[in-house]
Structure 1
Amino acid sequence: MKKLKQWILAMQFLTRIPITKESMPAEPSDFKGAMCFFTFIGLIIGIWTWLIFQLGAFVDPLLGALLAAIAGIWITGGIHLDGLSDVFDGFGANRDAKRTLEIMKDSRVGAFGVLALLIDFAYHLIGFYLLKDHPAFIIWVPVSAKFAICVICSIGKNVSQGMGSLWIENISQAGLFVNLVLFIGVGIGVIPWTQALIGLGIVFGTVILLNKKFGHKLGGLNGDCLGATHQLIEWVMLTYLIIISRGLIG
């Protein structure tokens, strides 16, 4: 029963799928347990995005890519996009840590944030279209991003009392292992195992670099950093999968 509660908690936080109309009362241990389901929820989002792409592709692959990009935003409620735009605004201002955090907390979206959102939508639209001959690859993109959040939460330091503090430094080794197994399993399901292992290295390497950048600039992580990490990993993995689809990695 406790695991069901944690599953619902993760679904409520990461998606807008109407599991229940009521908010789940939760303790810190529930958030730790909920992180076991992050990559699985990424799989649900990936399958949903792939299905929408396939439906649109019956008319034209470009329409499928457009609908898939919109569907990905809809099912998550754009939860990670806010963090992406805030990080671009904060880091783009090139100020000290205190001022950067103040800019990131500002509810208004600046020029760098708008630019980040435009790039993000274009990246997904074009990326999904370029994967038209290998549409199953789309499934691994949100799976990779959710796994990346688990990794950065396990190695990063919390510097905020916001929503991010519920997850950062709050994942068990067992939870990380469960997410790792699912990440690799889905990867092997869509690409050869050697390429899936390279993808694992890419995720870890990118997360380590991002964590180092956030730590150097802010002293650690907050919720916006998690959102930005999620979207940036999707950019990186889309690029990697496009390269694979072109046969450039054997």
Structure 2
Amino acid sequence: MMNAAFGLLLACQFLTRLPVPVACPWTPVTRRWALRSYPLVGLAIGVLLAAFAALLSGVLPTPLLALVLLSLWVALSGGLHLDGVMDVADALGSNAPLARRWEIMKDPQVGSFAILALVFLLAWKGMLVWALLNAGASLGVLVAVPALARFGAVALLCLAPCARREGLAWTWRQDLERRDLLLALVPLAVLFALLPGWPLLLGALLAFLLVYGGGMTRAFTGINGDIVGAAIEGGELWLLLIAWSWWSFVTA
């Protein structure tokens, strides 16, 4: 049980900026438990977002509430995954040969494609949160989206090839087995029981991972940490779009 607890704390330390004042052992066992805990950390982020939405609903105008929720969303992750989006955008936007794309991805300088990707990603997420609030969607959507997106990261690490035998993604991958992917689904069982339309969201996530994973494998011969981080952001955006479509056109 201690390894499971340390794994959860490692996942919190890695995926969020929530204070975790505990020195956790970095071992294959704790890393495996950390990967299993990714969706649980996403649930925690989602619960905080839903709680703020419930507390501030009717207090703030809907556009301002959407902006507050988006700001909180970014703050909780510390912008970690946004950095991956920007690196991937610069590398893909360069249209350079493979070796040069890898150099661009590792370059700490920010290019124009990175700025464009960041601006449009945040704009779309903010507008979709606003649209979901206007549509009267269940706050369970705000809980589901971060959790499912982080499950998607585990699925990508488990099923997609790593581009290089180095880096954080490769380190995580060494400790990951197929059964860990099933165990990562366990925290989502409560979510599935409470949120109508969850099969649609899960199916949409799997479709996104299939297209995204295939595209990244063709562009970079595999995945790395930046690509996994960008998958979390892209998955959240895609799931928000699917949820808004469901609430606006199916349940209306």
What count of residue pairs does the alignment treat as equivalent?
Answer: 246
Q: Could you say which residue in structure 2 is the equivalent of 1:167?
A: 172
Return 175-184 or 128-137, whichever deviates more.
Answer: 175-184
2:231 corresponds in structure 1 to 229
CA distance in 2 between counterparts of 1:122 and 1:144 reads 21
Report the Cα offset of residue 28 of structure 1. Answer: 2.8
- Equivalent in the alignment of 1:155: 159
Give the 3 Å change call, closer, same or farther, for CA 54–63 of structure 1 in structure 2.
farther
Aligned-CA RMSD value: 1.7
Give 3-state SS (helix, strand or coil) of 2:37's partner: helix
> Offset of 1:23 from its aligned partner?
4.1
Check conservation: 2:6, 2:25, Cα contact below 8 A. Answer: no
Structure 2 alignment gaps of length 5 or more: none
**1:136 maps to which residue?**
140
In the alignment, structure 1 residue 211 sits paired with structure 2 residue 213:
yes
Alpha carbons 1:56, 1:65 under 8 Å: kept: no
List per-residue Cα deviations over 1:91-138 (Å, max 9, x = no partner). Answer: 111112111111010111111111111112112211111111123311
Shift of 1:56: 3.3
Tell me if structure 2 keeps the 8 A contact 1:86–1:224.
yes
Paired with 2:91 and 2:113, the residues of 1 have a C-alpha distance of 8
Amino acid at match of 2:218: H
Within 5 Å, which residues of 2 pair with 1:1-250? 1-20=2-21, 22-57=22-57, 58-132=59-133, 133-134=136-137, 135-160=139-164, 161-168=166-173, 170-183=175-188, 185-191=190-196, 195-248=197-250
Unmatched runs of 5 consecutive residues or more in structure 1: none
Q: How far did residue 9 of structure 1 move?
A: 0.9
| 1:172-225 Cα shifts (integer Å, max 9, x gaps) | 23321122243354144222xxx3222222111211111111111111110010
Please give the alpha-carbon distance, in whole angstroms, between the structure 2 residues aligned to 1:46 and 1:226.
19
Distance 2:112 2:56 in 1: 32
Q: Distance in 1 between matches of 2:67 and 2:56?
A: 8
Q: Percent identity?
A: 26
Residues 93, 100 of structure 1: 8 Å contact kept: yes
**C-alpha separation between the residues in 2 aligned to 1:29 and 1:103?**
34
Query: What is the one-letter code of the residue matched to 1:110?
Result: G
TM-score, length of structure 1 as denominator length: 0.92
- Compute the TM-score of the two structures, normalised by the length of structure 2: 0.91
Distance 1:249 1:150 in 2: 31
Could you tell me how far apart the structure 2 residues matched to 1:80 and 1:177 are? 24
- 2: distance between equivalents of 1:106 and 1:187? 41
**One-letter amino acid of the counterpart of residue 49, structure 2:** T
